[in-house]
């Protein structure tokens, strides 16, 4: 049974996570895809192609991506190379305190450049990426023409 795990499942957006896929056949070609939908409903995704090692595992921290959104060893590549489905869109988080970005990671058999509703992943999981840590207080700043926010640690 194929399994994709991300450790930790919930973390700050600037902290690294470990992505691992287990239960594949040795030397099996797979596509790892990360996707999220932003607050405006725009979808962003990144994909990377990997060949499982002799134990049937893929670890982006140790194994090089063969192509896709990036190539080579890049442990956080699936998160760093998220691109919008529509041109000229940027990934922006407006509500940094109230909710995280939910990033879905999926593993597909073979090299999948485009996936449709009929394509079922071998495994998937969801990860929370927060922009503000627990207990951090956001104080809006409005002084004259200055606008901003002050983030105070607990």
As averages over each run of 10 residues, the pLDDT of the chain (154 residues) reads 96 96 97 95 96 97 96 97 93 89 96 80 96 92 95 93
Task: Copy the structure tokens of residue 45.
Answer: 């995704």
Residue 33 is given by DSSP the state E
What pLDDT was estimated at residue 98? Answer: 86
Tokens of 87: 């041109």
pLDDT at 57: 97
Q: What is the pLDDT of residue 82?
A: 96
109 lies in which domain range?
Answer: 3-152
- For residue 119, the model assigns a pLDDT of 83
In degrees and rounded to multiples of 5, residue 80 shows phi and psi of -75, -25
CA–CA dist 42, 69 (Å, integer): 18
Q: What pLDDT, on a 0 to 100 scale, did the predictor assign at position 106?
A: 96
Overall domain count for the chain: 1
64: number of Cβ within 10 Å: 14
Q: What is the domain-level CATH number for residue 111? A: 2.60.40.2240
SS3 at position 78: helix
pTM: 0.88
Q: Do 69 and 48 contact (CB within 8 A), yes or no?
A: yes
């Amino acid at each position: 049974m194929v399994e994709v795990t991300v450790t930790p499942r919930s973390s700050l957006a600037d902290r690294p996570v470990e992505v691992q896929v287990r239960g594949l056949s040795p030397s099996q070609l797979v596509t790892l895809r990360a996707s999220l939908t932003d607050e405006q409903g725009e979808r962003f995704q990144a994909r990377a192609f990997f060949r499982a090692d002799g134990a049937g595992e893929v670890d982006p921290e140790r194994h090089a991506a063969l192509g896709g959104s990036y190539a080579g060893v890049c442990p956080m590549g699936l998160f760093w190379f998220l691109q919008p489905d529509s041109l000229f869109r940027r990934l922006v988080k407006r509500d940094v305190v109230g909710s995280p970005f939910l990033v879905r990671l999926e593993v597909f058999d073979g090299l999948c450049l485009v996936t449709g509703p009929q394509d079922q992943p071998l495994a998937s999981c969801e990860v929370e990426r927060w922009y503000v840590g627990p207990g951090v207080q956001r104080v809006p700043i409005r002084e004259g023409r200055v606008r901003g926010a002050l983030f105070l640690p607990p």
